[in-house]
Structure 1
């Protein structure tokens, strides 16, 4: 056999293929996550596809809504029952931590509304009567907040949609979805990068043998395509397959990601509960989400009962000064303002509520108990949705490197 090129060029083929496998896997991962927003000149784009004429958007940012829905459907159906979670809040303790903030709020609101509706009468009311209102507020605020929290617990699904809240957060801040996948799959992504070199080198040995006996020009780019596709495909299969441990010839095979269920469960719970499903976000969703109208109606009903108890002592004077209809309107105004201003003081409850809900620990424990078939759904959607595209993309990148390799061989010959 007569070699058409210097011997060292053949020796380089496995190493170049290993390098090709590494580079294609690295680039494929980068294109999975980045860029967050479309980059390039978008002359034409198919809906929900990462590619477009002269540009690209990361696969996960492109599919953020769909992937977030898959992930948080898992959370809300298998890991967390929001009604059970909220039942861990003690209404009495909640009322206690909110007590000072509610007293200040009610004092401010009553003064504002009274000065707007009956300024002269309110100014002439004896201070002792106003002090009685404060005492009544002090006595009744605990009942008000405790009964309100109990009502919320009983009807939590009517006032907040946790899945909608989390999905919207990931769509509005696509980097959150990227962060979840990257932190949970950090070791798997490192494996994909490194395995590209190892698998590429193995395929490169076959490539070298074929090219020695059949040095056609098309061999280099075609093998580059094969190496790029094969390294991505093998890496993905090794990560997620087999789902359950399987012994073959005395060796146990198990998907790399699935082996780390306990570790990943802790990472997933920490990232989700720190970045997305924390108490501030939940209250914001309650105040401003799609079901906020129900929340306001509930809060208004409880506030009216509370207000009735506070103003009972000034009712005769108030009715004499403004009439019964305006007095009723004054109570409505107080309830409306309290409803509007509750978001400004609810942060007084954050520390207690976050500790009481204990969502991170509950999520971690429940996730550790998931069967492997459900657990793989934490990370697999990042690849499953566009697995074929990732494999072909790796092949195209490999083909480009193969064509460059052919040019180098031609110049060296």
Structure 2
């Protein structure tokens, strides 16, 4: 055995290196097959592949969103966090500009002669009166939303649809929350593969069995994948002797994971622009329009003030049309301006801080649910892929050594 080792020492030393390569490469493949491709590639239904996460999007999205809404996000609490005074202060300039444009456009459309003959000072006075009424209108709308939040918006349905319709967003969610754990899976392949490779080297020296290399290659791919997945989530609490302790990586990083997860929810999933889009274009959009119509009628009456009888006399039947058009104008304005106010609205809602606070209160099992659904049901596939790839590389290795 010693003579054989001395003669073929380069091949022997290559065994741990190849085993490390097997461990490392199979982890890269496993992680990428977890995420990609986003759509099925091949001949449906079985001859091909789709990333484990995108394929399980409906199930994973439902699990993730159920956790969000049972433990982290309360729509009522979200709307209660809106400070109307701060909102109107921040948006005063763009809102005043929008009101100015709306009044001029609607007056020119319905009473052009009256508007053109009106002195500029009178025009300005009317516009300013409407502008002064806007904060009160916003406050009344927010109050209505707080009272009828479930009737106006379906945030749970919006979140599930967002993750299912856009698999890339779900993949990004898993990558961002578990980026350290995914990187550990890849790097662990080098360490575990090297250790098993050393054992494999001595076993080959003793037996020279052609079945040894593929068997060890399969074992390396299988065990390193399984060990890496276990070390991510187990143990939940630190265990060990003296200074030598170990804790599942995902649980050990809880503080940072809470921040990353909250940032993803606040800036990718529940952005004010997406919430508004769901409210304005969703199944319950007609209810918001009805709510606004009621408030707009009161708003027009209030803005007219003492001049209401004169306005009614001059406008006649077109007053009702003006009120309905005002609702359409407000909705169109919100659609166009939503992205402009997105960052300001994010700061006002401060959803990130809310989610961080709530995520820290999760139990260990609930916290694990932030990432575990990406692996739990289909992790056997990752382990099996590692075993198959390891077996094939091991067979290639033995052919090189024998020939």
TM over 0.5: yes
1:282 is aligned, of 275, 285, 288, to 275
Please list, as runs of the form range in 1=range in 2, the aligned pairs for 1:13-412 lying within 5 A after superposition.
Answer: 13-38=15-40, 40=41, 42-45=42-45, 52-53=46-47, 55-124=48-117, 130-247=123-240, 252-311=245-304, 316=309, 323=316, 325-346=317-338, 350-411=342-403
Deviation at 1:89, TM superposition (A): 1.5
- Partner SS state of residue 367, structure 2: helix
Q: What are the Cα deviations for residues 81-102 of structure 1, in whole angstroms up to 9, with x where unaligned?
A: 2321321212233233344444
- Partner SS state of residue 375, structure 2: helix
Are the structure 2 counterparts of residues 352 and 410 from structure 1 closer, same or farther at C-alpha, using a change threshold of 3 Å?
closer
- Partner SS state of residue 385, structure 1: coil
Deviation at 1:390, TM superposition (A): 0.4
Q: What are the Cα deviations for residues 290-317 of structure 1, in whole angstroms up to 9, with x where unaligned?
A: 3322222222221121112234666555
Structure 2 unaligned regions, length at least 5: none
Are the structure 2 counterparts of residues 26 and 327 from structure 1 closer, same or farther at C-alpha, using a change threshold of 3 Å?
closer
- Partner SS state of residue 236, structure 2: coil
- CA distance in 2 between counterparts of 1:331 and 1:266 reads 45
Q: What are the Cα deviations for residues 175-229 of structure 1, in whole angstroms up to 9, with x where unaligned?
A: 3322332233222222212211221222234434444444443332222212111
Q: What are the Cα deviations for residues 261-303 of structure 1, in whole angstroms up to 9, with x where unaligned?
A: 1122122222332233232332232222333222222222211
Are the structure 2 counterparts of residues 3 and 60 from structure 1 closer, same or farther at C-alpha, using a change threshold of 3 Å?
farther
**Residue in 2 aligned with 1:49?**
none
Structure 1 unaligned regions, length at least 5: 46-51
Are the structure 2 counterparts of residues 348 and 94 from structure 1 closer, same or farther at C-alpha, using a change threshold of 3 Å?
farther
Greater CA deviation, 96-105 or 57-66? 96-105
Mapped contact 2:280–2:331 kept (Cα < 8 A): no
Deviation at 1:63, TM superposition (A): 2.5
Normalized against structure 1, the TM-score is what? 0.85
Normalized against structure 2, the TM-score is what? 0.87
Deviation at 1:387, TM superposition (A): 0.1
**Residue in 2 aligned with 1:48?**
none
Mapped contact 1:118–1:322 kept (Cα < 8 A): yes
- CA distance in 2 between counterparts of 1:83 and 1:118 reads 42
- CA distance in 2 between counterparts of 1:278 and 1:322 reads 41
Q: What are the Cα deviations for residues 22-65 of structure 1, in whole angstroms up to 9, with x where unaligned?
A: 11112111221223344x4x3222xxxxxx42x43322233334
- Partner SS state of residue 292, structure 2: helix
Are the structure 2 counterparts of residues 365 and 194 from structure 1 closer, same or farther at C-alpha, using a change threshold of 3 Å?
same
Are the structure 2 counterparts of residues 346 and 61 from structure 1 closer, same or farther at C-alpha, using a change threshold of 3 Å?
closer
Q: Name the Cα RMSD after superposition.
A: 3.0
- CA distance in 2 between counterparts of 1:264 and 1:369 reads 13
- CA distance in 1 between counterparts of 2:359 and 2:235 reads 19
Matched positions, count: 401
Q: What are the Cα deviations for residues 226-250 of structure 1, in whole angstroms up to 9, with x where unaligned?
A: 2111110011011111223344798
